[in-house]
Amino acid sequence: MGFYRTAERIIFVNMRYLSLFLWLGALGLLFGSCRKKTETSWDVDVIAPIINADLNMGNFLEDNLFNSDNTGLLHLNINRNIASLKLDTLIAIPDTIITSGYTWTLFPVSIGPGQILASGVQQPLTFNFPNGIGLRYVSMDKGQLKVEFKNSYSQPIDFKYSFPGITKNGVMLEVNETLAGYDTTGRVRYYDLGGYQLNMTGNGGQINTLSQNYSVKVSPGAQTATIQTGQGVTLKISYKDLIPQYVEGYFGKQTITLKPDSAKLDIAKNFTASNFKLNSATVEFKVINDFGCELSAGLGNIVSVNKVQNTQLPLNAQGLSNININRANKTGLWYSPYSPSIKQIILNNTNSNVKQCLELLPDYLKYSGSIDVNPLGNTSGFNDFAYLNSAIRIDANIDIPMVFNADHFDLTALSTVNLSQVKQINNINHGRFIIKTVNGFPFSARLQAYMLDSLNTTIDSVFTAANNTIAPGIVNAQNTVVASTGSELSIPVEFNRIGNLKKTRKIKIVARLVMPPNPPDIKLLETYRLSMKIIVDVNYNVRP
């Protein structure tokens, strides 16, 4: 059989996989299986692609941030939530404990079975809310009622505790217990309040108040005995972990502070530029009020921050310091019970420096602020409302039309590789990388690929600085690409790079797109892309 072969095969692979050397290994095994044991070695020339990529702006930014308009112009759209305050921030029902029960207050007397000691005794419970909050009605999502009983009388006592203000499907909550005589260690019962409705008007016309009644009598099976002064039943009632599904009343006149925080943008995560100048930019701040109460919001100290470049710029804009938002409205529809109130503040080139803030390519926005609830007081007459999933949300929607100029901008991609177990790497004698490109962008590009080890430390590069530039696409008078330009580069595979390839765990590819001096504003269209194929041409020694 022949001992010298030339293989030329086009293999399309994803950028994340460098499978050529594995293929070479298989080739070596093929030669080894087709011959008898010998000390002779053979040289084999191999040409094969290792990367075949079609690159555009969307390849380099996450979350599908690019969209195109009807002209084909790309827009960078970023939507971020600045703040979100849920119902538990607005209304938190506190854990509440009361002590109740009945004790004999007269002189010692003998009483018999069935003797009624107390009946229909009212024991209202009032919750203490801050900021003047007054609730009339609560529908519970979760919660717990805990009751601890003790009986200091010698005979068993029947105790009935009813809660007219707590109902479920029209049925009132009742607690019925028979307490053994001298049961002073206490008996504990738990009741799930999920799904119950709480009428917080007490016996009528009140707020934050639950009505409660109890009755006490000696059990019919008890014996006649003397009850001493101070003997009877004591209770400890605890309302715990109350989470409402719906609340109605007055939410008070209160201020909720938005502590200094930040909203992640990551515009520059895979996109960096020098002397980057936008033609225009828009940021829409949207305040969404799901609550049935008036609000007044203020955002301040908004700062655009690029932590990599260590630069920042405060946002100067009118209309963010005092934003009045109407209450949400009930719809009467069970599947969508309310319609939110939305207030929009749009910042652009004419009313702010938002364009300059975004030209920093910020990693995040810093901000602080506050929200005033019911700034005009109880205008609803205790008819404020809110649902469990209601919220006050402040969103920032950023729109950057990709019309700009710059000295250059870099786009970065990262691929994972591991060639440490491919022994055939050591058998390469010499070779070269062939880079074939078709550039549809209106500017030239300088390519570089960096080899990174397991610690993400750069250990080598692939392209030489003198031979890594490709020509721009052909443009018309409006700087719109009318035809793509093809280029081919050839780069030697030096011997020292073979050892570095074995250490490589990731390859970072950087495309620096270079604009001409004093460039006009250039539009990036959806159709612009850079097609790149990297082919390896090596001489490989097959060893026994």
State the DSSP string of 295-347.
Answer: EEEEEEEEEEEETTTTEEEE--BSSSS-EEEPPPEE---SSS-EE-EEEEEEE
First to last CA, the chain: 16
Least confident of 56-70, 73-87, 315-329: 56-70
Per-residue pLDDT band at 541 (split at 50, 70, 90):
low
Does residue 269 or residue 435 have the better pLDDT? Answer: 435
82-131 pLDDT, tens digit each: 889 999 888 989 899 988 888 999 999 999 999 999 988 888 899 999 99
328-347 pLDDT, tens digit each: 999 999 999 999 999 999 99
Type of residue found at 384 = D
Q: Return all residues near 508 (Cβ < 8 A) that are at least 6 apart.
A: 412, 413, 414, 415, 449, 450, 452, 458
Give the mean model confidence (pLDDT) for residues 415-439.
72
Question: Does pLDDT of 449 surpass 70?
Answer: yes
Residue spans of the domains in the chain: they are 6-63+406-542, 75-89+255-401, 94-250
Question: Does pLDDT of 6 surpass 60?
Answer: no
> Under CATH, what is the fold of the domain 94-250?
Jelly Rolls (2.60.120)
Bin 519: left if φ > 0, else alpha if -120 < ψ < 50, else beta: beta
Does residue 480 or residue 154 have the better pLDDT? Answer: 154
Q: Which residues pair with 343 in a beta bridge?
A: 287
Give the mean model confidence (pLDDT) for residues 76-82.
89
Bin 383: left if φ > 0, else alpha if -120 < ψ < 50, else beta: alpha
Least confident of 27-31, 204-208, 302-306, 497-501: 27-31
Q: Which pLDDT score is estimated for 15?
A: 38
Nearest to 364 by CA among 259, 441, 458, 262: 262
The two three-digit tokens of residue 534, written as one number = 């990297």
Q: Which pLDDT score is estimated for 506?
A: 84
Cα angle: 93, vertex 97, 102; to 5 degrees: 140
Residues 244 and 136: beta-carbon distance below 8 Å = no
346-361 pLDDT, tens digit each: 999 999 999 999 999 8
How many C-beta atoms lie closer than 10 Å to residue 123's C-beta?
16
345 vs 431: CA distance, rounded Å: 60
* Buried b / exposed e along 45-76 (16+ C-beta atoms within 10 A): ebbbbbbbbebbbebbbeeebbeeeeeeebbb
Q: Which pLDDT score is estimated for 23?
A: 44
The percent of residues in the chain predicted with pLDDT above 70, rounded, is 83
Question: Does pLDDT of 394 surpass 50?
Answer: yes
Q: Which residues pair with 299 in a beta bridge?
A: 369
Give the mean model confidence (pLDDT) for residues 474-496.
85
Question: 3-class SS at 238?
Answer: strand
Residues 177 and 189: beta-carbon distance below 8 Å = yes
Does residue 279 or residue 415 have the better pLDDT? Answer: 279
321-330 pLDDT, tens digit each: 889 999 999 9
Q: Return all residues near 223 (Cβ < 8 A) that are at least 6 apart.
A: 113, 155
Cα 52 to its chain centre, rounded Å, is 34
Cα angle: 534, vertex 538, 544; to 5 degrees: 140
Question: Does pLDDT of 517 surpass 70?
Answer: yes
Nearest to 469 by CA among 508, 495, 443: 443
The two three-digit tokens of residue 62, written as one number = 């996450």
Q: Which pLDDT score is estimated for 33?
A: 42
Question: Does pLDDT of 251 surpass 70?
Answer: yes
Does residue 354 or residue 542 have the better pLDDT? Answer: 354
Q: Return all residues near 30 (Cβ < 8 A) that are at least 6 apart.
A: none
The reply to whether domains 75-89+255-401 and 94-250 share a CATH topology is yes
119 vs 117: CA distance, rounded Å: 7
Most confident of 10-24, 70-84, 128-142, 459-473: 128-142
Per-residue pLDDT band at 505 (split at 50, 70, 90):
confident
Question: Does pLDDT of 239 surpass 90?
Answer: yes
Residues comprising the chain, all counted: 544
With 0-12 / 13-18 / 19 or more C-beta atoms within 10 angstroms meaning exposed / middle / buried, residue 191 is middle
280-315 pLDDT, tens digit each: 999 999 999 999 999 999 998 999 999 888 999 999
Query: What is the number of alpha carbons within 13 Å of residue 5 lying toward its C-beta?
Result: 12
Q: Return all residues near 481 (Cβ < 8 A) that are at least 6 apart.
A: 440, 441, 442, 473, 474, 475, 525, 527, 528
Nearest to 206 by CA among 137, 266, 300: 137
> Under CATH, what is the fold of the domain 75-89+255-401?
Jelly Rolls (2.60.120)
Record the pTM: 0.75
What is the β-pairing status of strands 428-439 and 323-325?
unpaired
How many C-beta atoms lie closer than 10 Å to residue 152's C-beta?
20
Q: Is the dihedral of CA 345, 350, 354, 359 positive or negative?
A: positive
Q: Which pLDDT score is estimated for 10?
A: 31
